[in-house]
Structure 1
Amino acid sequence: MTTHLQINDQFPDLVLPDQDNKLVQLSQFTQPGLLDQRLGFDDGYPLIVIFLRGFFCPRDQQQMRQMVEFQDELAVNYARLVTVSVDAPIVNAAFRAGLGATWTFLSDESRRTITRLNILDETEGEYAYRAQPYTFVLRPTLQIHAIYNGWYFVGRPTLEELRHDLRAIMETRSDYTYETYNQPEIKQIRIPQQEWENGAPPAGSNGLPVSYGNILWFDVDTGVGMIAQVDSNQNIFFHFTAIPGQGYRTIKHGVAVKFEIVSGQHGLSARNIQLIN
């Protein structure tokens, strides 16, 4: 049996347990981040889905070692990767840890998914009812961009082929060009360093309203956070560039701040965030 899916078909939005036995839905991986949503960039991101026979297969091991080499590049390319096997979550967790992989391993112990996709392998004598080794490259909508049949290892995608696939998908994003970011409404939230090079201007000196609050949370990985206003029950979004200074800035939970408020098409954002001693 080979998969009935073809390029441009809609890939099913699978819900499967990950290596920690927590249910995960595929569309979670392709959703735009908080900053994207605030800027109005709702395109989302590509996803690579690799089906494995299992940890025991030397060809799968080789492919996964290649993906370990690729995982840091995937991160800076804003692409996502998941692998799926019929192994139990605890087995996937051990395989993942041994590889040094940081992406998600999903478990299809029931074989429902690989049966649904028509990629159940019924030929193996020793390890029966495993997945045929397919790789699907998906657009943010989960439409299929590319399919690789890895029955023979040469049929599995090289890293260069994946780069071309991901580039083709990313080029369709509305914010793929520099000019998209060089717009006043975007630069109000992603504040250019040039505005801070002579020191932080006094809050409100540009005519924007000033408010006070406490840092509700800040995500170091994504550089975004929320401020809880002291005079309102509304939380205010901010990007780390809204904190005056050079380089990558961070700020701790609970810190008291004053800030300017920018009202944009997609909600309120904070800028010129300054600590209150």
Structure 2
Amino acid sequence: MRSDITQGAAFPDYELSDHTGKHRKLSELQGQDPMVVVLGRGGFCPKDRRQAEGLLELHREMEVGYCRLVTITTDNISQTNEYRNGVGAHWPFSPIRGASFRRISISRNTPTQPMIQ
């Protein structure tokens, strides 16, 4: 994981493809609102699918408070759309794989230490 991605720090303004294939910066998705970025393993993971189902409920409340949500997955675009549609999500998903993960320096492993202590 990048050393500058820490609790309380500004998240890097990555430009990623979304689930439609359009390139978008995180700042564009965020606008002037707070935003939650979820880093997921992908739709193949039962824990991630369960989390996305929970986020579906939470997202309704987040929209009321003008808070945005985006999920970054390790799936390809086809798998990402299957995952997104399968849970009924209507927020942006960004699929990134292999070289893209290395380029933005996000670990594909589940961290053993929580960010918030």
TM-score (norm 1): 0.38
Aligned equivalents of 1:100 and 1:74: distance in 2?
16
How do 1:87-236 and structure 2 match up within 5 A? 87-113=75-101, 116-121=104-109, 132=110
* Partner secondary structure for residue 71 of structure 1: helix
Higher helix share: 2
Work out which of the residue numbers 51, 56, 74 in structure 2 matches 1:86. 74
* Identical pairs, percent: 28
Q: Which residue of 2 is the match for residue 70 of structure 1?
A: 58
Aligned equivalents of 2:24 and 2:101: distance in 1?
14
- 10 and 156 in structure 1: CA distance in 2 versus 1, 3 angstrom threshold: closer
RCO greater where, 1 or 2, for CA within 8 Å and sep 6 or more? Answer: 2
Aligned equivalents of 1:98 and 1:118: distance in 2?
25
TM-score (norm 2): 0.83
Q: Point out the more displaced range, 47-56 or 9-18.
A: 9-18
Unmatched runs of 5 consecutive residues or more in structure 1? 32-43, 122-131, 133-148, 158-277
1:53-89 deviations in Å (ceiling 9; x for gaps): 1111111111111101111111111000000112111
1:113-141 deviations in Å (ceiling 9; x for gaps): 455334133xxxxxxxxxx4xxxxxxxxx
Aligned equivalents of 1:114 and 1:80: distance in 2?
25
Letter in 2 for 1:83: T
Aligned equivalents of 1:24 and 1:116: distance in 2?
15
Higher strand share: 1
Contact kept in structure 2, 1:49 and 1:83, CA below 8 Å = yes
Contact kept in structure 2, 1:86 and 1:111, CA below 8 Å = no
Q: Which residue of 2 is the match for residue 235 of structure 1?
A: none
Letter in 1 for 2:33: Y
Number of residue pairs matched?
115
Aligned equivalents of 1:106 and 1:118: distance in 2?
13
* Partner secondary structure for residue 82 of structure 2: helix
Contact kept in structure 1, 2:6 and 2:115, CA below 8 Å = no
